[in-house]
Structure 1
Amino acid sequence: MDIARNPASIPGNASLADAAPEPTAPDTIRRLDYQPPAWLVPDIALEFDLGIELTKVRATLTVRQNPDAARDQTLHLCGDNLAAMDLLVDGNPAEGWSMSGSNLLLPLPGDAHEVTIETHLHPATNSQLMGLYASNGMLCTQCEAEGFRRIMFFPDRPDVLSRYTVRMKGDRGAFPILLSNGDMTASGEDEDGTHWAEWTDPWPKPSYLFALVAGDLVARRDGFTTMGGRKVDLAVWVRPGDEDRTEHAMRSLINSMKWDEEVFGREYDLDTFNIVAVSDFNMGAMENKGLNIFNTRYILADPDTATDGDFDAVEGVVGHEYFHNWSGNRVTCRDWFQLSLKEGFTVLRDQMFSADMGSEAVKRIEDVRILRAAQFPEDSGPLAHPIRPDSYQEISNFYTATVYNKGAEVIRMMRTMAGPEKFRQGSDLYFQRHDGEAATCEDFVKAMEDGAGLDLSQFRLWYEQAGTPRVNVAMTHDAGSGKVTLEVKQQVPATPGQPVKKPMPIPLKIALFDRGTGTHDGERTLQITKASETFTFGGFAQPPVLSANRGFSAPIQLETEASDADLTFLAASDDDSFARYEALQQLFTRELLGATDSGPNEPRRAAIAEAMGAVIDDTAIDDMMRGELLMLPAINFLIELAAPADPVALHEARERLKAYLGTRLRGRLTALHDRASTVAYSLDAASRGARKVKTQALILLAAADRAETARRAEAQYRAADNMTDRQGALAVMSGLDVPARGELLADFHARYADNALVIDKWFAIQASALRSDVLDAVETLAGHEDFTMKNPNRVRALYMTMAGNPFAFHDASGRGYRMIADLVLKLDPINPQTAARFVPWLGRWRKIEPVRAAMMREQLSRIAAARSLSKDVREQVTKSLDASA
């Protein structure tokens, strides 16, 4: 499952009136308490009588005692807001059953039985978007992590694997298309205007991978022949009228299937692969076996309505969900503590795929930027947890950047240590050993040890310890001997529940540059295993320039004693693209953090301007990379480094630096914008790069010459033949106090009034504006006729964007904090998962200066005092307020 490609984005039969009563003490689930299931369900047959208002479900479970578990004569079936309308055992009415909370307890003598249960569902009122729900006249499901229990009483845990047979019946006018997992084995029509379809999935799977879609849909179809000769029918299903925007998704799917065969040796295993786009969806997408269900945001794309970033996201998410067919479906998780087993590994796989489809260097920078924006703050806050957590109260709260993005970095380090060929041997062994099983993170690590020949004894700490290691590298040079000594020290900060940490194993890639020639004698990978250790290298007549953590070889906070001159040298000369980017980022960061204390550092600002001028002029790099090098660090990243921070002071320092650079580099930036504006639209790298630098040039110019920037941005908007240019220009205009601003915003809304995804952009552009009246705008937009609390995309577009806008969220009045608290309280009864994702913004109060921190805590306390909160929100708020965190 993808958690939506936004650092702050989200991973269900209750209506607003069904809000749960105030919880007592939520149960805490602990990893070390795991016990295998007493009963297995090798087969399940589901019959659905479909309707928007009422859907009847009849399930027949073949159950048997698990020989590998403690014997229990009671079958424990999970339920959530369900009632059993009928309950049979071996064809006879069940006796002696009872309810324990939401769960059904059924005493069963003997070792094997057939259990039949009927439940009635009300999809139209399921605003939580978990289980079976309605979306614009269509029925669809979302079962990860614990949504299946909202459809049927079942041992709803990932280590119960079943073969599913599904029969759906519904009105053929309302539901002309009936889809489920696996392959369709039969279909027909009845005289009463209904029709039916049967789907069979031959591969055992956990209940979280069950899927059903019924509605009025059309498909883009294609095919793929696997390396073993299997012909697979492919379809991307959307609402009528959207099919023209599915070409890129289909191409991405075919590329994913081919890439997974070539790079990981994984072949698809059914005759059908279906994707369905749904407009109401909590997450980014879901990897249900053979029937992937997607947020429309990650399927629909054409040049007029999707930016280059949107095209990248579609490609990456389609790849991610397809790759889950092996890293998640064929080998699944034993329990939810092992979530990173499938998600961390699959994120790495989708990152590698996207890098191969585009620019490896640019993709690496983008991935690190997301990690720093979302995961580093998580690692340093009250919600810090290892990539394999030890406990939880609500599992949906652990669909986090730590599990996904840091999980990917941990597996990437294994690949770095093993090398690509040995890593492939380890992954092959993992799939071979555990195909068809519910596995653990330890199973993956052991397969890597055995298959790749690694000793990962100490490396297991990455699965056990939370926190981002802080690594300091100090270099000394002995002129007499020509030796260079690197002293490396690491410290893993205390995190909630883990006050004392052990040293982590860290593969640290370095190079030592000759300042005169601008070259180095080769890249080295230092294996850091201790709290403090030294490394010595000979043959340096002059002190070299250290390039460290090249390629971001480890997810650490790196500190070096590099001078501004060293960083300027690396920004101009480093042959590692990430290291070059990082040198510039460090220069930016030093200037911005220093400026909030003692004002601008003129020599450093001049060095930055010189380095950025060199970036603009450098013909050896393409515009895709040039665009990355021209980006200043985000304020939320700077807050992590400056804690306790004054976010508005950081914002003002950043705007001053932008104005300085825009003024110093005005001629070069306008020439860059002019040159990029002549490049015709296409999706090739040169054209995409031109659009990227065009907007970056406007961003820097906007702080220096607003009138000229407004002229250029308006011209770019009106001449645009694609969404990237149009949105980029409008985003710049939205921060300028010029008459054309309102005119262009109105034009954008009118132009795309019937396109929900683009109207999401319209909301987000205004919420991200760097204007003093942005909070007024957000309040006005919340009352707009196009705003709804029931669509997660729309809620995120407005409020998540505002929370991620430090200038607005950290307004000195505390108004931004109150708005987010108000939202959480209003949204929680409707959609707890989405509501809970807003709490961490307030939970970062420890990183903020005392006055604002007190206001953030006050809003957290206000949420905590509410009479009725979901488990999702209560767990997040409680941890965020915990004084010991």
Structure 2
Amino acid sequence: MLKDNGQVFRLEDYRESDYLIPEVTLTFQLGPAETLVTAVLKVERRQGVAVTAPLTLDGDGLVLAGLAVNGAKADATTFEASPDRLILRKTPHAARFELTIETRLSPTKNKALMGLYVSNGVFCTQCEAEGFRRITYFLDRPDVLSVYTVRIEADRKEAPLLLSNGNPVEKGALDAERHFAVWHDPHPKPSYLFALVAGDLGAVTDSFTTASGRAVDLAIYVEHGKEERAAYAMDSLKRSMRWDEERFGREYDLDVFNIVAVSDFNMGAMENKGLNVFNDKYVLADADTATDLDFANIEAIIAHEYFHNWTGNRITCRDWFQLCLKEGLTVFRDHEFSADQRSRAVKRIAEVRALRAHQFPEDQGPLAHPVRPRRFREINNFYTATVYEKGSEVVRMIRTVLGQDAFRAGMDLYFERHDGQAVTIEDFIKAFEDASGRDLAQFSLWYHQAGTPNVAIATRHDAREGTLTVEIEQSVPPTPSESRKRLMHIPLAFGLVGPDGQDMAYESAEGATVEDGVIHLRKRHHTVRFSGLKARPVLSINRGFSAPVTMAASSVAKERLFLARHDRDPYSRWQALNTLFTEALISATRRKRGGRQLAFPDELVGLAVELAGDGALEAAFRALALTLPAEADIAREIGENIDPDAIYAARMALLSTIAEAGRGDFAGLHASLHDNAPFAPDAAGAGRRALRNALIEYMALAAGDPGPAREQFDTADNMTERAAALTVLAHHFPKHGDSREALARLEAQYRDNPLVLDKWFQIQAMIPSSDTVELMRELMGHAHFSLTNPNRVRALIGTFAMANQTAFHSADGSGYRLVADTVMALEKHNPQVSARLATAFRSWRSLESGRREHARLVLADMAQRKNLSRDLADIVERTLA
């Protein structure tokens, strides 16, 4: 049985700290083997707190080197120090006093990558969520806001660059070998936003003039020789800054804005005030080494971290239960930015696909939790798709419910009312209620209740009366700790599509609140009756994915085919086609398990070929139309007794059927999309390449040999098309000489480029073969594989566990054992990444009995291990519950 691995924190137990720390002065005497940190804390006892109240500061593996109170060495009888806590049992009678704490750190030994560590010779910090306590003893909680002054001392040759939060104040020489720099951040911030970087790095510099005319110096720091690959990141930053001024009225507030890219990082990036630290995967890009997806991710994540300056930094979370208040809100903002920069329709479809792939399974499994959790044991385990992606969808629904103008008024009021504060979801909702005059109490359940609502819909048309009756019913399935659910406010955008493909106007709508093309579902059951409709319309519902729900509609395939051809809402058009694909694949999966022949509707196959060649549609949309639901998507829809091999066979059969049907069209279309112009990572160019890459898979399958993919691999002048061709070679012809030669060539050409090698590992981790488990063991022995680099672990092990449904779910359980062994090996030095890998087992109960038992045994074995980290124990315990 799992032992209790730590305190369970509950939202209802929140209370303010007895003390505040309004000012912090930090001095770092940096050394790789030993660093001395001196923290001078200006401490303030809250009004009404007794003088006898002890001051308890958080620590994590710290070594106390010295302690002074108001400049005098602390009496050993007045305090208690351990690696994880410092308790000052007796504090001065004055309400304000000064505490000086010295700690000794070993940055090179810190492989958890939390606190202060060294990455490729560069000193770096990561403090969210609770990493600051690995640097010094502190009230390490989001609602303690402090003004920081930081002095950094280091060897000039080892670290010519010395950075921290805020604005530069002073710099100079200490002696012939060492120098210093002082930084001051005038904006009070929680400790999780503290940052320090020191090392020898190259720089890309620029400037930005704000709307009020202030000049801001911009810099992106990268490893020497990689400066040119940071140009797109700089361009994305400047566009983000201008967009936030125009769309949300938010102007930057410091004299400098710095970004540092490091190769060892547990996350994508971190929004530390004025000094963002990034995983270099989301900074470095050029046509030769990065794909269009990489460029789009860089644009989005640069924007995301910059937007945090207001939604997360200037206004932060009162406690970690409010994490979605910064993350969900900021994801919404970066989604809007990307939609404005690229294709809004295509971006929306991509967002929904990601939500369904990652968040829906979370909501349907043992790790389900509300957008605002009510309890946690380890906060690192709640940086989830529910908090981020579903949190974003909730903000989007607020805009749908209120309308754009009232939404903007609510955001403006939120910024005005709470600037400089640590706040809650209730504060956020109240701003919108006050700005709009609307009651959002029922709507707020989206923050407080776990689970994905299901909406069942049936329609009935009466030609004589000219009415369309729509029956709508909502339900929310039970989730862990929540068996009974309350009724939600679900905004469903809709249209009534007439026989000519145009939206039909209706005279009236009775039975529910219908405003601006949105049905507001508030009760369990609504009957909505539209009048003035002599011709029968086809209901297009949940347009733009206006609510993150599952749909059970009574519409027939003929109606979905009609919407896939004619719906004016691009998302709904794609959704109709995707639903048809999903239903066909589920049916084929069941026939495969029953030993019957697989066949697919001619109309569906023909529609896919038709849409691929429709030049009136965006190329990126056509690529999405040719992209079948992933195996995990099909498994999620089947829901129970899942056989991954049958799903794979069904999907391959449909791919092959479409390939054969499009044999006469796809090659010519592929050739016509070739662009001789220089590579540009814009929406139009990315769309053309996306469609070419979708077509090349079908062309290779139709040919029955790797020739088309090998030709694209050989002639591609960009990584987008090169990696896509290699994927087709490796996945469909893994034992062919062309595939092996292409893999060897990419490895040889880019062996000194870690980000391209990650792609090389990732492509192989996705090979859908029974031999892949053995290949994984070989790749883990590769000279360039390392368990200490999170990017490499995610590229190989993470891809295998999260995305390779056939190999991870090998019938003999070998895939589960491989991942479990890696999780346990990784847990010894990086519990955070280890725990995230373990979430791959979250859907084990939905598998067929043989695989289910293999997975259960592996999880039970992990649960029996001694001294599991709190991170991993929490995931394993909840997954087994």
Secondary structure of the residue that 2:505 maps to in structure 1?
coil
Secondary structure of the residue that 2:535 maps to in structure 1?
coil
Q: Partners in 2 of 1:843 and 1:625 — Cα distance?
A: 32
- The question of whether the paired residues in 2 share the 8 Å contact of 1:36 and 1:68 is answered with no
Q: Partners in 1 of 2:236 and 2:216 — Cα distance?
A: 15
1:176 aligns with 2:169: no
- The question of whether the paired residues in 1 share the 8 Å contact of 2:260 and 2:278 is answered with yes
The equivalent residue for 1:133 is: 117
Question: Which deviations, in whole Å up to 9, do the C-alpha atoms of 1:400-451 show, x marking residues without a partner?
Answer: 0000000000010001111222111100100111100000011001101111
Question: Which deviations, in whole Å up to 9, do the C-alpha atoms of 1:592-613 show, x marking residues without a partner?
Answer: 1111223689895212112112
Which residue of 82, 105, 114 maps to 2:87? 105
The equivalent residue for 1:879 is: 878
Instruction: Describe the shift of the 1:340–1:70 C-alpha distance in structure 2 as closer, same or farther (beyond 3 A).
Output: farther
Instruction: Describe the shift of the 1:80–1:475 C-alpha distance in structure 2 as closer, same or farther (beyond 3 A).
Output: same
1:418 aligns with 2:402: yes
- The question of whether the paired residues in 2 share the 8 Å contact of 1:672 and 1:693 is answered with no
Instruction: Describe the shift of the 1:122–1:562 C-alpha distance in structure 2 as closer, same or farther (beyond 3 A).
Output: same
1:720 aligns with 2:716: yes
Query: How far apart are residue 559 of structure 1 and its match?
Result: 1.3
Q: Partners in 1 of 2:532 and 2:122 — Cα distance?
A: 70
Instruction: Describe the shift of the 1:799–1:509 C-alpha distance in structure 2 as closer, same or farther (beyond 3 A).
Output: same
Q: Partners in 2 of 1:516 and 1:370 — Cα distance?
A: 33
Q: Partners in 1 of 2:168 and 2:374 — Cα distance?
A: 40
1:822 aligns with 2:821: yes
- The question of whether the paired residues in 2 share the 8 Å contact of 1:679 and 1:690 is answered with no
Instruction: Describe the shift of the 1:200–1:68 C-alpha distance in structure 2 as closer, same or farther (beyond 3 A).
Output: farther
Question: Which deviations, in whole Å up to 9, do the C-alpha atoms of 1:769-789 show, x marking residues without a partner?
Answer: 223322221110000000000
Instruction: Describe the shift of the 1:271–1:29 C-alpha distance in structure 2 as closer, same or farther (beyond 3 A).
Output: same
1:312 aligns with 2:296: yes
Q: Partners in 1 of 2:681 and 2:789 — Cα distance?
A: 30
The equivalent residue for 1:8 is: none
The equivalent residue for 1:563 is: 556
Question: Which deviations, in whole Å up to 9, do the C-alpha atoms of 1:530-586 show, x marking residues without a partner?
Answer: 111110101222332111110000000011111111111111101101001100100
Query: How far apart are residue 468 of structure 1 and its match?
Result: 0.3
Unaligned runs of 5+ in 1: 1-21
Cα root mean square deviation, aligned = 1.5
Query: How far apart are residue 648 of structure 1 and its match?
Result: 1.5
- The question of whether the paired residues in 1 share the 8 Å contact of 2:491 and 2:518 is answered with yes
The equivalent residue for 2:661 is: 664
Question: Which deviations, in whole Å up to 9, do the C-alpha atoms of 1:350-375 show, x marking residues without a partner?
Answer: 00000001110011011111100000
- The question of whether the paired residues in 1 share the 8 Å contact of 2:5 and 2:870 is answered with no
After TM superposition, the structure 1 stretch with the greater mean CA deviation from structure 2, 525-534 or 100-109, is 100-109
Query: How far apart are residue 703 of structure 1 and its match?
Result: 3.4
Query: How far apart are residue 281 of structure 1 and its match?
Result: 0.1
- The question of whether the paired residues in 2 share the 8 Å contact of 1:38 and 1:71 is answered with no
Structure 2: which amino acid aligns with 1:123? P
Q: Partners in 2 of 1:175 and 1:92 — Cα distance?
A: 33
Q: Partners in 1 of 2:363 and 2:39 — Cα distance?
A: 43
The equivalent residue for 2:583 is: 590
- The question of whether the paired residues in 1 share the 8 Å contact of 2:585 and 2:650 is answered with yes
1:542 aligns with 2:524: no
Query: How far apart are residue 24 of structure 1 and its match?
Result: 4.4
Secondary structure of the residue that 2:581 maps to in structure 1?
helix
Structure 1: which amino acid aligns with 2:146? S
Q: Partners in 2 of 1:458 and 1:68 — Cα distance?
A: 37
Question: Which deviations, in whole Å up to 9, do the C-alpha atoms of 1:292-315 show, x marking residues without a partner?
Answer: 000000000111010000000000
The equivalent residue for 2:200 is: 216
Query: How far apart are residue 713 of structure 1 and its match?
Result: 1.0
Instruction: Give matches, 1:150-169, under 5 Å.
Output: 150-169=134-153
1:188 aligns with 2:172: yes
Query: How far apart are residue 133 of structure 1 and its match?
Result: 0.3
- The question of whether the paired residues in 1 share the 8 Å contact of 2:606 and 2:661 is answered with no
- The question of whether the paired residues in 2 share the 8 Å contact of 1:285 and 1:292 is answered with yes
The equivalent residue for 1:457 is: 441
Secondary structure of the residue that 1:84 maps to in structure 2?
strand
Query: How far apart are residue 453 of structure 1 and its match?
Result: 3.1
Instruction: Give matches, 1:785-824, under 5 Å.
Output: 785-803=783-801, 804-824=803-823
Q: Partners in 1 of 2:606 and 2:559 — Cα distance?
A: 14
After TM superposition, the structure 1 stretch with the greater mean CA deviation from structure 2, 84-93 or 535-544, is 535-544
After TM superposition, the structure 1 stretch with the greater mean CA deviation from structure 2, 63-72 or 390-399, is 63-72
After TM superposition, the structure 1 stretch with the greater mean CA deviation from structure 2, 719-728 or 603-612, is 603-612
1:574 aligns with 2:567: yes
Query: How far apart are residue 513 of structure 1 and its match?
Result: 1.2
Question: Which deviations, in whole Å up to 9, do the C-alpha atoms of 1:596-638 show, x marking residues without a partner?
Answer: 2236898952121121122122121121111111111111111
1:281 aligns with 2:281: no
- The question of whether the paired residues in 1 share the 8 Å contact of 2:202 and 2:227 is answered with yes
Q: Partners in 2 of 1:603 and 1:874 — Cα distance?
A: 46
- After TM superposition, the score normalised by the length of structure 1 is 0.95
Instruction: Give matches, 1:277-676, under 5 Å.
Output: 277-521=261-505, 524-598=517-591, 605-644=601-640, 645-676=642-673
Secondary structure of the residue that 2:843 maps to in structure 1?
helix
Q: Partners in 2 of 1:452 and 1:812 — Cα distance?
A: 56
Instruction: Give matches, 1:57-96, under 5 Å.
Output: 57-67=37-47, 73-95=53-75, 96=78
- After TM superposition, the score normalised by the length of structure 2 is 0.96
After TM superposition, the structure 1 stretch with the greater mean CA deviation from structure 2, 101-110 or 416-425, is 101-110
Question: Which deviations, in whole Å up to 9, do the C-alpha atoms of 1:233-267 show, x marking residues without a partner?
Answer: 00000110010101100000000000000000000
Secondary structure of the residue that 2:543 maps to in structure 1?
coil
Q: Partners in 1 of 2:447 and 2:676 — Cα distance?
A: 47
Structure 1: which amino acid aligns with 2:742? L
Equivalent pairs: percent with the same residue? Answer: 48
Secondary structure of the residue that 1:246 maps to in structure 2?
helix
Secondary structure of the residue that 2:712 maps to in structure 1?
helix
Structure 2: which amino acid aligns with 1:103? R
- The question of whether the paired residues in 2 share the 8 Å contact of 1:679 and 1:687 is answered with no
The equivalent residue for 2:773 is: 775
Instruction: Describe the shift of the 1:704–1:46 C-alpha distance in structure 2 as closer, same or farther (beyond 3 A).
Output: same
The equivalent residue for 2:215 is: 231
Query: How far apart are residue 35 of structure 1 and its match?
Result: 0.3
Query: How far apart are residue 99 of structure 1 and its match?
Result: 3.6
The equivalent residue for 1:17 is: none
Unaligned runs of 5+ in 2: 507-515
Query: How far apart are residue 700 of structure 1 and its match?
Result: 2.5
Residue-pair matches, total: 859
After TM superposition, the structure 1 stretch with the greater mean CA deviation from structure 2, 844-853 or 575-584, is 844-853
After TM superposition, the structure 1 stretch with the greater mean CA deviation from structure 2, 59-68 or 166-175, is 59-68
After TM superposition, the structure 1 stretch with the greater mean CA deviation from structure 2, 767-776 or 750-759, is 767-776
Secondary structure of the residue that 1:459 maps to in structure 2?
coil
- The question of whether the paired residues in 1 share the 8 Å contact of 2:237 and 2:303 is answered with yes
Instruction: Describe the shift of the 1:70–1:371 C-alpha distance in structure 2 as closer, same or farther (beyond 3 A).
Output: farther
